[in-house]
Copies of this chain bind each other. A is one copy, B any other.
Amino acid sequence: MARGVNKVILIGNLGQDPETRYTPNGNAVVNLNLATDESYKDRQTGQMVPRTEWHRVVLFGKVAEVAGQYLRKGSKVYIEGRLQTRKWQGQDGQDRYTTEVVVDMNGQMQMLDSRGDSGMGQGSAPAGRPQSSGYGGGQPSQGAPAQSSAPSGGYSQPSQGSMPEPVDDFDDDIPF
């Protein structure tokens, strides 16, 4: 049924609140910006140097709902998914590629904070999601992680921003 293996395992912290979107069918699609911290020994200096890597994570289905509801900026989380590279068009008409870690029903998401005291919240209401205007409004995610100029994958609401041109032509469920 499958002739290959494509698996990603991450433990890190969210750089910002999750972004929740919905497919036309009402299914949640959640984007996370996840930082994994490591340190490595610089060969020149012999010093340990911290290295932070930012990952774009996209969750679908039930795990997306849980992530959207309970995770917050700063939350520590375990992610198991698969690598996927999407092609999209830049505003200049050129092809761009964004690689994401996709978590669907074959993946896994585990919250690693004790009692859901995940991040610090700082204004980002943890439940009920009141926060006025909603996601994506105003400045595009100011605590901006890598690849921030990439579109969120076409699962987005009507993109009122100029570019980089989300695909946004979903007339149905995402097909997996």
A-side residues, CB < 8 A to B, are: 1-13, 35-44, 48-49, 51, 53-55, 76, 78, 80, 82-85, 87, 90, 92, 94-99, 101, 108, 110, 112-114, 117, 146-147, 149-150, 172-173, 175-176
Contacts and interface: CB of A to CB of B under 8 A. Distances in A.
Nearest to A12: B4
Contacts of A51: 176
Given A42-B175, A97-B147, 12 more contacts: A2-B38, A3-B37, A4-B13, A5-B78, A5-B108, A8-B9, A11-B110, A54-B85, A78-B78, A96-B96, A99-B99, A114-B114
A38 B37 CA distance: 27
Nearest to A100: B99
Given A83-B53, A110-B11, A175-B44, A37 B4 contact: yes
Contact of A110 (B3, B92, B97, B99): B3
B5 A172 contact: no
B11 A4 contact: yes
A87 to B, nearest CB: 7
Contact of A4 (B35, B80, B98): B35
A8 B11 contact: no
Contact of A97 (B4, B98, B172): B98
Contacts of A173: 43-44
Contacts of A11: 4-5, 78, 110, 112
A175 to B, nearest CB: 5
